[in-house]
Amino acid sequence: MCINSLIALLQFTTILPLGGMRDFKDFARRSWLYPVAGYVVGGIAAAGAFLIGPPLLAAAVGIGLVFLISGCNHLDGLMDLGDGLMAHGGCEKRVAALTDRQVGTGAFALAIVVTLVSFSSLASVPSVAIALLIAEVGAKFSMAFLSTFGKPFRNGLHAILQSQSRPYFPLLAGILCLPLVLLPVPPSTLLAVAAAMILCPLILQIIACRLFGGVNGDVVGSANEITRAVILAVLCLSG
């Protein structure tokens, strides 16, 4: 049932208390639902930021709420990617750095840079709440994109998602993003956001396939963080 898929999605992407655990495969069969998690996470963060006047504080609270609600799972993936990118040697050494449990300087560097871009951009947009919602929905689209087209380099949750995905899933995910056009944002800005939603995971997929031989859950999670930052930068520059 679709309700079980939605609950499984939110249990996978958030720490929200949603009762007994649903079967992960309920979501895997409908991974195009990813943007729904963006509306939930982004909506909660936007509501928190909306209640705060000063934009700098609102931006900090907004980013903090996103991290809190998501359990920092995607941020952890970004940090793992940072270690993988900074590793020296061939594909095997890079994969080892990507997948081990240790945190290196590459992890901290990439996490700091992406978070700083997100925060500084968010603090400079006309509406922190609207930007948070748009960026989080767009970030989740990038995860749907990679869950469909990101060839896995090993077995794991991403491999399960990718095996259950169909080529039309990103189209369905894109349709779920269409309500964003109702927000008071210029159409040209939304077109730039749409381009970022597609280009970020596409470029990351190319890099991951070249350096690691494919995609795993860490790469998909990092796509969420990077795409959010790029969308916020687009909204900032377009404002």
Spatial distance between the Cα atoms of 164 and 216, rounded to a whole number of angstroms: 15
pLDDT at site 114: 97
pLDDT at site 157: 86
pLDDT at site 3: 87
Series of mean pLDDT values for 10-residue runs along the chain (239 residues): 85 89 86 96 95 93 96 91 88 87 87 96 95 98 96 89 93 96 95 97 95 93 97 93
Strand partners for 215: 152
Closest CA to 139 of 198, 204, 87, 81: 198
pLDDT at site 103: 83
pLDDT at site 134: 98
Spatial distance between the Cα atoms of 108 and 173, rounded to a whole number of angstroms: 31
Q: Where are the domains of the chain?
A: 2-74+108-238
